[in-house]
């Protein structure tokens, strides 16, 4: 897989940014992003869960994250939808500053021609950790908006996992 040092350059790309305060120390939030056993507890948008995560959190290391519909969500999907809702995101870490920053390429199975870049920044905040996700290089507004919903769900579940 190619490594992106910056967002892909094309005629027009789209970007999203989301920030959330997580009521947990920065080292625990960082661990949640780099420890596959913790990641399986929270990664995935609303209505999805993560049965498998492989993480080699070093520059040049790869990750592979699978998400599937929860049983409740699966009940409402047709057979065709159920197959397409099982998804994998994979990529390579391009920049890491322990407890501060993770940057990685993003290759989604549901849109294999779209390669983008995710930067997760962690900063101390009053009562916890400020998590900022910048995801850039989307080829359409629809893809950006879909990922915005996905990251929102991930952050909500990360918050729940670490604050309980």
Q: For residues 121 and 119, what is the distance between their CA atoms, to the nearest angstrom?
A: 6
3-state secondary structure of 144: helix
Structural contact between residues 74 and 44, judged by C-beta atoms closer than 8 angstroms = no
CA dist 81 to 10, 43, 44, 89, Å? Answer: 31, 20, 17, 18
Structural contact between residues 153 and 126, judged by C-beta atoms closer than 8 angstroms = no
CA dist 23 to 55, 84, 110, 151, 161, Å? Answer: 24, 34, 32, 18, 10
- Tell me what pLDDT residue 12 has: 74
Q: How confident is the model at residue 70 (pLDDT cuts 50, 70, 90)?
A: confident
Question: What are the structural domain ranges in the chain?
Answer: 14-163
3-state secondary structure of 160: helix
Give the CATH fold of the 14-163 domain.
Alpha-D-Glucose-1,6-Bisphosphate; Chain A, domain 4 (3.30.530)
Q: How confident is the model at residue 81 (pLDDT cuts 50, 70, 90)?
A: low
- Tell me what pLDDT residue 10 has: 47
Half-sphere exposure of residue 44: CA atoms within 13 angstroms, side-chain side: 26
- Tell me what pLDDT residue 79 has: 58
Q: Is residue 90 scored above 80 in pLDDT?
A: yes
- This prediction has a pTM of 0.88
Residue range 91-137, pLDDT digits in tens: 999 999 999 999 999 999 989 999 999 999 999 999 999 999 999 99
Q: Of all residues in the chain, what percent carry a pLDDT higher than 70?
A: 88
């Amino acid at each position: 897989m190619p490594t992106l040092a910056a967002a892909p350059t094309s005629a027009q790309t789209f970007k999203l940014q989301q920030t959330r305060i997580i009521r947990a120390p920065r080292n625990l939030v960082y661990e949640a992003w780099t420890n596959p056993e913790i990641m399986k507890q929270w990664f995935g948008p609303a209505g999805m869960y993560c049965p498998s995560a492989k993480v080699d959190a070093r520059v040049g290391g790869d990750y592979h994250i699978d998400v599937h519909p929860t049983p409740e969500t699966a009940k409402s999907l047709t057979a065709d939808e159920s197959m397409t809702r099982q998804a994998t995101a994979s990529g390579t870490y391009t920049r890491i500053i322990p407890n501060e920053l993770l940057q990685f390429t993003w290759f989604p199975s549901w849109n294999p021609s779209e390669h983008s870049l995710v930067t997760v920044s962690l900063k101390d905040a009053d009562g916890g950790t400020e998590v900022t996700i910048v995801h850039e290089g989307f080829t359409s507004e629809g893809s950006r908006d879909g990922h915005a919903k996905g990251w929102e769900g991930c952050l909500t579940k990360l918050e729940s996992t670490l604050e309980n």
